[in-house]
Amino acid sequence: MRLHRETKGRGGKAVTLIKGLPLAGEELKSLAGQLKRKCGVGGAMKDNIIEIQGDQREFLKGELEKLGYTVKIAGG
């Protein structure tokens, strides 16, 4: 699983993308909601990719590792 930061097409605002999660459907939706609440920000789900507003990569890495996932931070 990888955490990406993206600003393209978002008016200069950063979002953190979580790609490669081994979940689908309701499990993925539930995890997205849980992570958004922990960060205290909004977000979305598109094509099995979770988007969290802001550059939350370090925080999300810690949270996902607590849940037992192996996480890499990708991109700049």
Give pLDDT tens digits for 34-51. Answer: 999 999 999 999 888 999
Q: In degrees rounded to 5, what are phi and psi of residue 21?
A: -75, 135
Give residue limits of the domains in the chain.
Answer: 2-73
* Residue 62, token pair as written in the block: 């810690």
What HEC string does 4-68 produce? EEECCCCCCCCEEEEECCCCCHHHHHHHHHHHHHHHCCCEEEECCEEEEECCCHHHHHHHHHHCC
Q: What is the mean pLDDT of residues 16-39?
A: 90
What's the fold here for domain 2-73?
Answer: Translation Initiation Factor Eif1 (3.30.780)
What are the pLDDT digits (tens) for 4-14? Answer: 999 888 888 99
